[in-house]
Amino acid sequence: MRRIIIAAALLLVAAAVAGVARPEGAEAVDGTPATQDSVTVSGSASVSAVPNRAQLSLGVDSRADTARGALSANAKEMRRVIEAVRAAGGSDISTQSVSLSPQFGENGAVTGYAAGNVVVATVDVGRAGAVIDAAVEAGANQVYGPAMSSSDQAKLYGQALKGAVSDARERAQILATAAGRSLGKVTTIVETGGYQPVPMLQKSAVSDSGTPVVAGEQETTASVSMTFELR
């Protein structure tokens, strides 16, 4: 019996040695490949530009004794506003909201009705003030915005993204050199940031004879996370 036990133990040792000798023997016990030496870094960059496009919300709030009267008056006034906005240079005009609600007095009784209609229009920044003035002149009594953006936003973000990758590579190179290593190939790259424009210090004003609109610089940012092999 003792000889059988010794023989079995020798067979197990031989099998273990054979497993190490094979290339796949470098795997961990659970079958996961051994971790490659690597460095993971984050990179970010930004691009500044002055927006050339503005989005305005323009509306009319009308009151009348009856719901039909309030809605009818609002429709007539809103048509004039839309025509004026279009004539002043507004484009991509679309309805944002339509509302109708009763108005109550101190005793809780209905005293009348309020009807509202708001449209959204896109305009060149240089025409934003003129469009606002034209809308108000036509009867608009609600103005919101402007929300400014660049017509080539995708291009700006692409530039920021390239800068973020370069920044990450530079950081990785510094770490590798400090550790006495060199960079190998990129194993992973993850886009971690958005391109939402961030308003910066306003430094240029675009205005006409009416309402002034200031077009300050906006900063488009991008960030990435990258992993490099180390050699």
Measured from the Cβ of residue 130, the count of other Cβ atoms closer than 10 Å reads: 20
Judged against a pLDDT cut of 80, whether residue 129 lies above it is answered with yes
Judged against a pLDDT cut of 70, whether residue 28 lies above it is answered with no
pLDDT tens, residue by residue, 172-192: 999 999 999 999 999 999 999
Beta bridge mates, 44: 223
**CATH number, domain 53-149:** 3.30.70.2970
One of 3.30.110.170, 3.90.1530.10, 3.10.450.50, 1.10.10.60 is the CATH number of 37-50+153-230, namely 3.30.110.170
Q: How far apart are CA 214 and CA 126, in angstroms?
A: 9
Token pair, residue 158, equals: 């692409």
DSSP3 helix / strand / coil % (the chain, rounded to 5): 35, 40, 25
Measured from the Cβ of residue 134, the count of other Cβ atoms closer than 10 Å reads: 22
Judged against a pLDDT cut of 70, whether residue 17 lies above it is answered with no
Measured from the Cβ of residue 131, the count of other Cβ atoms closer than 10 Å reads: 28
What confidence score (pLDDT) does residue 211 get? Answer: 85
Largest distance between two CA atoms of the chain:
109
Question: Which carries the bigger pLDDT value, residue 229 or residue 203?
Answer: 229
Question: Which carries the bigger pLDDT value, residue 169 or residue 211?
Answer: 169
Judged against a pLDDT cut of 70, whether residue 30 lies above it is answered with no
Residues whose CB falls within 8 Å of the CB of residue 69, separated by 6 or more in sequence, listed in order:
113
Q: Where are the domains of the chain?
A: 37-50+153-230, 53-149
Token pair, residue 36, equals: 């490659």
Q: How far apart are CA 58 and CA 93, in angstroms?
A: 10
